[in-house]
Every structure is written in C-alpha cells, then in structure tokens.
Structure 1
Amino acid sequence: MAWGEPTWKSTGNLYDLHSEHGMYIVNNGVPYPGADHIRFSVTAPGGNFQGCLHYPNDPNTDNFVGPVTLHSAVWGGEC
C-alpha cells in the first residue's frame, strides 16, 4: 500500500468512492456533540462492513486491503 497525501479528504460526508488498492478511514475531527463520529459502510474482500470511528484519543482509524468501495462515510453523534 502506498503512503502519501489522502486521495479524498472532506469536512463533510463522502459517498460512493472506490479504491483498487485499499483504504484507510480516519476521523481527525474534534469533540462536537451530535457530529463528531464517522459512521461508514464499505464493501471489501470478505464482505460488507459497517463501523463507527470516534475522534482522536479513542479508536479513530480503520483500514481495508484490496479493492474497496466506500458506500458512505457520514458525520453523526455518539455510537
């Protein structure tokens, strides 16, 4: 997997993105009640996955290897 600048970076929601080479999903947000967690849905080798990432100092990263489709990454409240 290559390292470097993000392919996609957003302060808002993301939908329908694809990578042939894997994907890291990172929440670099700050505490903000009602909108500081990222709920995501992906299809990757092994199936469909859903998750929720907290802001830093809690688990805030998930990664997937191989071809990955990010169906959605949406900001929301506590999960």
Structure 2
Amino acid sequence: MLSKDKLNRINELSKRAKTIGLTKQEEQEQQSLRKEYLQTFRNSFKNQLHNVTVVDENGNDVTPDALKESKISQNKRMH
C-alpha cells in the first residue's frame, strides 16, 4: 500500500500539472510516484487473484489453469 503522503503528492502534482505546469524535477518525481503506485496496485491485484477459487454450481473447482499455476509459482517463491 502506498503511503497517504505519497498519494497526496501524486494528486498535488497532477493538479499542478493541469494548472501552472511542472518543472523537470517535478515531472520526474511524478513519473517515479506513478510507477511506484502502479507496481503496488499490480502486486495487490495479483495477491487478490491468488486468493480466488472459482467453483461451479456443482461445487467443482473450475479455477483456470493459468491462475492455479500462478498460485503454485508464487508459493514456491515465498518458501
């Protein structure tokens, strides 16, 4: 999870970019913060997916093979 301060800074830079513009340093900071935000979001989303099991109406596990393989791969990296 990205800190509240970093999220506030992302929003501040975005508003500033729309109004008066950003300096080169601020543009670099904005890109860096956005990259960090996206990486955090993607990791969080992957973790959520790894906690999903798809079950049909008969109670059979029909989780896609790609997701099952990804879960196994993640578990191997954690151990």
- TM class by shorter-chain length? under 0.3
TM-score of the pair, normalised by structure 1? 0.17
Whose radius of gyration is greater, 1 or 2? 2
- Answer 1 or 2: which has greater strand percent: 1
TM-score (ref. length: structure 2): 0.17
Higher relative contact order (CA 8 A, sep 6+): 1
